[in-house]
Amino acid sequence: MTMLKLDNVHTYYGNIHALKGISLHVNEGEIVTLIGANGAGKTTTLNTICGLLRPRQGEIYLENERIDEVPAHNIVEMGISQAPEGRRVFPRLTVMENLDMGAFARNDPEGIEKDREWVFELFPVLKERVKQQGGTLSGGEQQMLAMGRALMARPKLLLLDEPSMGLAPMLVETIFNTIRQLNQEGTTILLVEQNALAALSVADRGYVMETGTIGLTGTGQELLDDSRVRAAYLGGEG
């Protein structure tokens, strides 16, 4: 089943035409990645999906229900949650309070408690830091907290924006292992990532974005093997 579908989506920042008619889809149970250079439109795509930006043209569907005119907070309630670029935790709130903010749209205390424990199983270090302010965590811990907060919404579709940004290689491996685990446990994921090798290695499919358009698409392995992708994003010679 198609979880998410974008059809000919155009998004603007003022007069800047940021997304120029992109079409893509994410099937239930998949990891799909968007790769591309800075400024290609990857984050704009995620922000358009979750309602922070409105497309001027085109349509967006979640499970066949159109959402491109739905308010952002209602999109969360419908099942889309985002861990934004740059981690963006609430710096003065504790780890526990940050996680609870992710569940703001829910009204099932037992389910919230169960999911909080699930997040602590995924990221044990957060359980050790429950009373610590988010802004005092390390970069890797803040990334874990941002992902955990997004998961507290119990999303059908998780949007991850540059989860490896600024992290040491060992932590990057931890984050991507967690992405695999989340997917294996049933979470559908749309992943924006500049680390093309890591992203394509976990992805079922990928899209290569080029200045607001989709340049290439294929399975993760097909894109890893593509000479153009290797030359542009993997440090290969083509």
DSSP characters over 122-138 = H-HHHHHTTTSBGGGS-
How far is the CA of 85 from the CAs of 52, 133, 162, 173, in angstroms? 14, 19, 5, 18
Reported as type and span, the H/E element at residue 60 is strand 57-62
Q: Say how many domains are in the chain.
A: 2
Q: Within a domain: residue 103?
A: yes
139: Cβ contacts below 8 Å, ≥ 6 apart? 87, 166, 167, 171
Residue burial 16-55, b: 16+ Cβ < 10 Å; e: rest: eebbbebebebeeebbbbbbbeeebbbbbbbbbbbbebeb
The mean-pLDDT minimum among 29-33, 51-55, 169-173, 218-222 falls in 169-173
Please check whether residues 29 and 147 belong to one and the same domain: no
Q: H helices then E strands: how many in the chain?
A: 10, 10
Supply the range of the domain harboring residue 65: 2-79+155-234
User: Of 125, 154, 183, which residue constitutes the final position of a domain?
Assistant: 154
Please check whether residues 75 and 185 belong to one and the same domain: yes
User: Of 107, 133, 154, which residue constitutes the final position of a domain?
Assistant: 154
More reliable by pLDDT, 33 or 105: 33
Distance CA 17, CA 30 (A): 29
Please check whether residues 170 and 69 belong to one and the same domain: yes
Q: Of all residues in the chain, what percent carry a pLDDT higher than 70?
A: 98
Please check whether residues 148 and 168 belong to one and the same domain: no
Pairing label, strands 80-83, 157-161: parallel
Q: Is the pLDDT of residue 135 over 60?
A: yes
Q: Within a domain: residue 107?
A: yes
Q: Within a domain: residue 230?
A: yes
Q: Within a domain: residue 145?
A: yes
Please check whether residues 128 and 173 belong to one and the same domain: no
Write the pLDDT tens digit of every residue in 137-177.
Answer: 998 899 999 999 999 999 999 999 999 888 888 888 889 99
Whole-prediction pTM:
0.91
